[in-house]
Amino acid sequence: MLSPKYIITNKILKNIGIIDASREVILNSPLIPAWEAKFRKEAVEKFVHHGTHIEGNPLSFEEAQEVLDGKEVIARDRDIQEIINYRNVLKFIDTISSEVNPEKPHFITNAAILEIHRLTVYRVVDDEYAGKFRLRQVVLRNSQTGQISYTPPPAAEVPYLVEDLLNWINSQETKDLHPVIKAAIVHYELARIHPFVEGNGRTSRALATLILFLENYDIRKLFSLEEYFDNDPLQYYLTLQVVSNQLVLDSSQRDLTPWLEYFTEGMAIELNRIKERVKRISMDSHIKDRLGEQIELNERQMLIMEYIHKYKQIQNKDFRKIFPDYSDDTVLRELRFLKKKGLIKKTGGTKKAAYVLR
């Protein structure tokens, strides 16, 4: 059975500490439903856009948002389909994780991996390759030089290697393993095996996400690691290759430490970012006590509150920055609502009026 080799370095320990501390803050912050829904929607959009963009999808973040919202986008059918597909992958992950009974052990199956892949490449590759292990050798080449950067295991070994990975995932040995470490190893191993003709990166990252969700590290489903990977795709691929191209006699001797450091750092950065944002806009206990109610804000009101949290105030001159398509009267009406609810107050005279947090 698979026996990953790695060292828990000080860097990994530091990252895990940040991850767990951020997780606790996020899980225990009293977010009002409208804010939580907004954050979850953003997490889905980032997961889908960055998860496909890193693989070469040319659609911008705004175009991906429009596709997800059901709007018409002028682009290649393939590019649009990849966006829809990866959203369906996330829905599949949500479905599996929501059906798990916390009192019973949960298992990742071969069928789940194949379904993730099928959804990933639906109408993008021929049906004979969708949700099926590759039957031929493939190689990864440098897109600029054309040189081979990595040669995956032979196709005949793929079913056995995936089975070995699944046995490790579902083994008693991994029960005490930190979920983020486990997800990182699963991501690396499936990418190394490269079991499909196309869609291996997305499938590997999606499987890692499924591991986190099943291990109670979905973090209210407010995060997406895909943006971290996509911000520096060269570093992402180089880190994978550094481990995969180690000169060892057996694959079990590869040292996964560099990859674990990279993966945990990304998770730490993402969760710390969300933690700070949640702390800024969560309803503080003293505000809730004073108001005696949970306030559900609309989209414009949420944007105003977020702007004030970030810049300490909002003035009339700032309206166009946030709401280029709305009149000043509309914005002022939202400000009056927030003021009435005791969330903000007005300072200064008519010409230099500003709204700040109470």
Locate the domains of the chain by residue range. Answer: 10-281, 285-357
- Using an 8 Å Cβ cutoff, are 158 and 133 in contact? yes
- With bands split at pLDDT 50, 70 and 90, how would you rate the model's confidence at 206? very high
Distances (CA, A) of 349 to 160, 307, 346, 352: 74, 21, 9, 5
Angle at CA of residue 6, ends 90 and 232, nearest 5°? 50
Mean pLDDT of the residues in the chain: 91
- Rounded distance, CA 265 to CA 19, Å? 9
Active site residues: 194
Architecture of domain 285-357: Orthogonal Bundle (1.10)
CATH homologous superfamily for the domain 10-281: Fido-like domain (1.10.3290.10)
Model pLDDT, residue 29: 85
Model pLDDT, residue 292: 57
Model pLDDT, residue 335: 93
Model pLDDT, residue 285: 47
Model pLDDT, residue 341: 86
